[in-house]
Amino acid sequence: MPSITWTKDLTVDVEVLDDDQKKVFAMIDELQEAIMAGHDRGTLEAVLDRLMAYTRFHFAREEEFFAQTGYSAAAAHKRQHDAMVKWVRNVQARFKDGSVAMLSLELRSFLQSWWITHIQGSDKKYGPCLNAKGIH
């Protein structure tokens, strides 16, 4: 599976959030590389834990900007974040209790698809609101 590439069409026009998303994409690639290289459970678990910790950090940053700007779709957007985190936490729990094979490219494919769809569908909508309030 090719690497996940952040391209200019994914920009939300808020530099710090774009930078966050670039880091998330790099971590998803790191996860795939670790899976493909057959790394041990501890390594895979550490990569996935780092990815989820950074994802939660990024979501919190977005949600703080929503609170600062009064973004009207904040609640719906947060529900999307919560659902994604819940799904991945479930995967993490199953991985920790099961086999390394459980953490497959299917997870990476889900993450890649979710992030691109989320950015292009939901994140793009908040850019103009945040920009209008001076957040670039």
pLDDT one digit per residue (tens) for the chain, 136 residues = 557 788 899 999 999 999 999 999 999 999 888 888 888 888 988 998 999 999 999 999 999 999 999 999 999 999 999 999 998 888 888 777 776 666 676 787 788 899 999 999 999 999 999 999 999 9
Taking only Cα atoms into account, the Rg of the chain, rounded to an integer number of angstroms, comes to: 16
Is this prediction's pTM over 0.95? no
**Residue 94, token pair as written in the block:** 């199953």
CB 34 within 8 A of CB 49: no
**Residue 107, token pair as written in the block:** 């997870």
